Chain A
Amino acid sequence: MLLADLDLRGRAFGAALADAVDAALIEAFGDLDGSGEVALVGLGSYARRELCPGSDIDVLLVHNLRGRHTADTVRSATEQLWYPLWDAGFVTGHGARTVKESIALAADDLDALTALLDVRVIAGARDLATELERKARELAARRRARVLPVLADTAELRRQRPGAIAEMLEPDLKEGAGGLRDVQAFEWGGWALGAPGGCSTLLDLDFLTADDLARVETGRELLLDIRVALQRVTNSRSDRVALQEQDAVAAQLDFESADSLVHDLARAAREIAWIAGDVWSRVRDLLDRPGAKGARFDEAFAEGVWLGKGRVHVDTDPDGSVPPLRMLDAACAAAEHAVPFDRTSLTRLRATGEPTWDVWQRAGFVRLLRSGEHAVPVFEALDHEGVLVRLLPEWEHVRSRPQRNAYHRYTVDRHLLEAVAQCARLLDAGEVRQPSGHEVDVDAVVARACRRPELLLLGALLHDLAKGMPGNHSEVGEATADRIVRRMGFDSEAREIVPWLVRNHLLMAEVATRRDLSDASVADNVAAACAADAERLRLLYLLTIGDSRATGPAAWSPSKAALVRDLFVKAATAIERGETKAVAADRRDALRQRLGEERAGVFLARLPEQYVLAFDVDTMCVHESLLSDSPTVRCERVDGGHVAITVVADDRPGLLVTLAGALTVCGLDVLEASLFGTTDGYALDVFRGADPFGRVDDDDGARVTQTIAQALAGEIDLAVRVDERRRAYAGLGERAAPEVRIDVNSEESETDTVVEVHADDDIGLLYRLASAFTELALDVRIAKVATFGKRVVDVFYVRDSNACKIEDADAVAQLRAALVDRMTG
């Protein structure tokens, strides 16, 4: 049987099977028709002699009989013709109609019409068959305004579902974009466009170039070969090349491996799909503006590049060549306006000169990458014309390269383009200003902070370029990327960062899913891998997201996104901590230069390490002089309409209570307090406060300094005075029970327990909270007060009397109780 003869491939098999069916039908038809008024015709793939092992055999009995006679003839014909076929296991589509009936049916049903565009007479009256075919073709041409849009729409639908063959792991040979249906649709579209019909019409009307047609034909042969082999292997009608069948199909067709089969199939289908997209988009234009020759309006985009009739046009130089920059301008025009190239212009781009990668060409290339998802079809068009490999010869290696794992849904080349588009989208999100108070997206914040976003796009384009080369693709890719950015003439930072991104593009995803993120060393290691450079970390984080999203839905679950984000925030914090150390070292150096080695040394030795992080060098110099003639109080206006109060006093328990009380009595709202004890028993307490009543302006702060001095000397009963103020401003009416939340956290800081108190704002709140700490003999080292409308959040960094964190559960409970007591009491 034909099935067993493995030398019969694709078209040869189809022809052989059609011949066999022909012979059987001719025999069955026998002398059925003596009148010359009945014909047996084959339709569709049977007519084209492109049968596959599992194909339907579409046959039609065309007749010209009338009346009672009809029924008898048809019944006997059915028995003679169809049963043998059914018995032989062929699924047949069949019917018995007059030419008129057939055409009437086709008028309402596009599938019926397209079936009649390919008709082959098998037995009986040849005239009838010819008449049927001619009338069907005439009908198609008459109905072109209806037929063509449907053909264009269904071609577009195939791109979405089932999707492009070139991009599917398990491609559908028939219905996939770039498949057999796309090829047939060219023929049908040609008939709808009129004589001479089929693809010849498309050629005549310049919808197809001869080169395009040759590529389509080559592709069709391969599709048929694979389809026949697939159906032989599966012994079914399936058109989907499932992963589990690919090895057997490849072996039958003498491919080296399933990979090379999928690769060649993808390449052929990509060509067909691209040509189909191009043809149908121009057919649509024709329908929208029948006979439109006059330009609607042309818009110059760049020198030699203009937009007209929804197409990008490119001029050549007198010598017929296109300068590389003009090609890049044209590509940017197409991507940014989301319009295709004019077909002639696209062909002209083949004559693009060798890129020299001057600053303009680099900028043009980056701009193209930045234009996002619409750059994908542009890259594909450039690749179709062989221009892309001139920019990036390495592209040859990844074109249509399949990725055979469950995560990937695209071939490598398309995956790289998707990754660029996804990264561009992340950068877009970073450019949108969120209204303040709105919940902000972390990824957008990261994107906005990027200093060199173009390096992200380059990294995305190059990250998998070494897939399929021997060795680890990240390591080999690093060297490849290095070569490329050097060739393109990028600066030294780009030459460092882009290959580094390629080398490490899997790092964050791997660490986030396989390591314990609660272990601080994990984030530290990632920070170290980024050379403690926050920019590298940002770029790598965004590349991880872009790469994963471009891989497929399985590769970027909400769960993985949360893990990677967690890792990013932790690593970013680790880097900042490192930067903090560097800032501290810089400040110390600056202070030494200002005050001299010895004075600075003595001064800094008196204060704790964190001190240098809290103030700039000027302020530190002021503190140095204040500390030499203590005790003292200083009050001055500072930026932002705030008041700064600096107090140097003998250190003692409850100092914060006294100072907070005195400031409340003065009518100042404390926003931030930084409290330092010196090694020789002094306290340096610095307050930043708001002055809602303008008290400091009245007398240059004299009253404030005086009040503080009195309070320190114990001359004021602060408890009474604070309470008076509180009652004066809060009124005496019923107070709702204050809503209080207290968080005690010993993980956040390495040295202190962080106590956060969320409460309604109230006069003297800091005073009362501070007294709770004093009562428990806790040392408050930093206090920050943030006000949100009526709510305040007071944050205290505290230690116990042994300079340790408060980690004992009982002590924490006691602290909570004391704080609540002070606020509600």
Chain B
Amino acid sequence: MKLVVAIVKPFKLDDVKTAVQDFGVQGLTMTEVQGFGRQRGHTEVYRGAEYTVDFVPKVKLEILVDDDDAPRVAEKIVEAARTGKIGDGKVWIVPVEGLIRIRTGEAGSDAL
């Protein structure tokens, strides 16, 4: 099993959700996060009020999938989240040691 983790632009959440659901993903976890990539933060001014945007709002998604599905789920996310502009985010895949569904006790791929 693999954990597909993605950082995407907040307004792309619905598109990504639809895309992975269409692919057949059963569930995902989303978290509102803030961070920066190569674009760094920046300072903006509104009527003399200067404010620093050190961290840009993003959404983090975590999706558990079978090994074989991981690259294709990642690809779906990339397709759905791309705007071509700076700050589109990243997707990465990490191996998962074990998995248990709490309610039933099912383990491994059965718990997906």
Contacts and interface: CB of A to CB of B under 8 A. Distances in A.
Interface in B26-68: 32-34, 44, 46-51, 53, 55-58
Contacts of B55: 562
B90 interface: no
Interface string A571-612: 010000000000000000000000000000000000000000
A557 B9 CA distance: 15
A444 B49 contact: yes
Nearest to B53: A562
A516 interface: yes
Nearest to A516: B11
A442 B57 contact: no
A563 B55 CA distance: 11
A562 B57 contact: yes
Nearest to B33: A559
B83 interface: yes
Contact of B10 (A441, A558, A559): A559
A445 interface: yes
A569 B46 contact: yes
A449 interface: yes
B48 A445 contact: yes
Nearest to A519: B83
B49 A441 contact: yes
Given A518-B85, A560-B57, A439 B10 contact: no
Given A513-B10, A563-B57, A445 B46 contact: yes
Interface string A442-456: 101100010000000
A90 to B, nearest CB: 30
A440 B57 contact: no
Interface string A505-517: 0000000011111
B38 to A, nearest CB: 16
A64 B47 CA distance: 82
Nearest to B47: A445
Nearest to B86: A518
Contacts of A559: 10, 32-34, 57-58
Contact of A572 (B11, B34, B46): B46
A439 B46 CA distance: 11
Overall SS of chain B's interface: strand
A440 B49 contact: yes
B85 A560 contact: no
Nearest to B43: A439
Interface string A494-537: 00000000000000000001111110000000000000000000
Contacts of B33: 559
B34 A515 contact: no
Contact of A449 (B47, B57, B83): B47
Contact of B48 (A440, A557, A562, A566): A440
Contacts of A569: 44, 46
Interface string A59-77: 0000000000000000000
Contacts of B57: 558-560, 562-563
Contact of B32 (A440, A442, A560): A560
A557 B58 CA distance: 12
B14 interface: yes
A557 B34 CA distance: 10
A449 B83 CA distance: 36
A672 B39 CA distance: 31
B10 A563 contact: yes
A449 B10 CA distance: 30
Nearest to A572: B46
Contacts of B14: 514
A545 B102 CA distance: 38
Nearest to A564: B57
B111 to A, nearest CB: 21
A441 B51 CA distance: 7
Interface string B8-30: 01110110000000000000000
A147 B28 CA distance: 52
Given A560-B32, A562-B57, A569-B44, A445 B11 contact: no
Contact of B49 (A442, A514, A562): A442
13 contacts: A445-B47, A513-B10, A513-B11, A514-B14, A516-B9, A516-B83, A518-B83, A558-B34, A559-B32, A560-B32, A563-B57, A565-B51, A569-B44
Given A517-B11, A559-B34, 18 more contacts: A440-B49, A441-B49, A444-B49, A513-B11, A514-B13, A515-B11, A516-B11, A557-B32, A559-B10, A559-B58, A560-B57, A562-B53, A562-B55, A563-B10, A563-B57, A566-B53, A569-B44, A572-B46
In order of increasing CB-CB distance, the 7 nearest A-B pairs are: A559-B57, A440-B49, A559-B32, A445-B49, A442-B49, A557-B32, A562-B57
